[in-house]
Amino acid sequence: MVSLNVTNTYTFYAFWLVFCRWLAIIITLPIFDHVAVPRMIKVLFCFCLSYAFFPFLEKTVARDIYYVGIENIWMLAFFYSLTGLAIGFLAKIILQIFNSAGSIITQQVGFSSIRYFDMSVTDQVGPFERLISFVMIVIIITSGGLLPLLKGGFISFESMSFNSVINMNSWMSIFTEFFRAIFKSSIILSVPLIFSNVLVMIILGIISRMIPQMNVLMVSFVMNIGVGLIIFLFSSEEFFGVGLNFYSKLLGRWLAFIG
């Protein structure tokens, strides 16, 4: 029989609190929130992160434990998990730029028109959302864009400890600022497709006046998709470059708030 004995209670609880926050942050990130990723992989990854960062965070977390006492460790676990979820949710909001831009593009190009004719279609994610999100995640990972997210999670243990209570007004302002920035960025990224859709509608409106017997509705589907694909093909490089720039700026604001 192998028995496990905890020789240092404070160290054990400190590691548990570090694990709680990292787990709350990681499960909200776009790479790990997909159902295809096994839960065991998420837990093991968070355990490895906690083990790697724990020597640098032990004293900070121990101060919180001494402050509230071991009998109130459940309060700290709730606090660390809640702040971890908030931090991870803010990080996830940054990547919503590309989902929002892809959704607008899908609407403008016309790939979502099938939903108006076939009510049995329950998938609300169009091809552009999937394509843009997948490509941007690959670009962010290969360019080292996830390292600032891990750095922000590491810094949060010092700046968002239980001793320094967070002002909720600052949370409200940062959420509002992020929403405005994401909405603005999504519109800017989808402007070429919006402009092309307006141009196609104007041209088809003129044609419908000249040739009334033409079925403009059916022609508009083909025109929107064809023109949209061509414009996105030639503007995709600039699209991802500008999108990565927006991501970097929002990530900088996020790090400034966390720190």
Residue 2 in any domain: the answer is no
Residue 159 in any domain: the answer is yes
Q: Mean of the per-residue pLDDT values for the chain?
A: 76
Residue 130 in any domain: the answer is yes
Other residues' Cβ atoms within 10 Å of the Cβ of residue 109: 25
Residue 4 in any domain: the answer is no
**Amino acid 166: pLDDT:** 54
Instruction: Outline where 110-215 has alpha helix (H).
Output: 114-117, 127-142, 147-159, 168-210
Instruction: Yes or no: say if 16 and 77 are a contact pair by the CB < 8 Å rule.
Output: yes
Residue 131 in any domain: the answer is yes
**Amino acid 1: pLDDT:** 42
pLDDT tens digit sequence for 11-66: 888 888 888 888 888 887 766 665 566 778 878 888 888 888 888 888 888 888 88
Show the domain range for 19.
9-258
Residue 1 in any domain: the answer is no
114 pLDDT higher than 70: no
Cα separation, 246 vs 240, in Å, equals 10
Residue 87 in any domain: the answer is yes
Cα separation, 214 vs 206, in Å, equals 12
pLDDT tens digit sequence for 51-72: 888 888 888 888 888 888 778 8
Residue 188 in any domain: the answer is yes
**Overall pTM > 0.85:** no
* Number of independent structural domains in the chain: 1
pLDDT tens digit sequence for 157-174: 877 777 665 555 566 777
Cα separation, 224 vs 105, in Å, equals 11
Mean of the pLDDT values across residues 175-179? 76
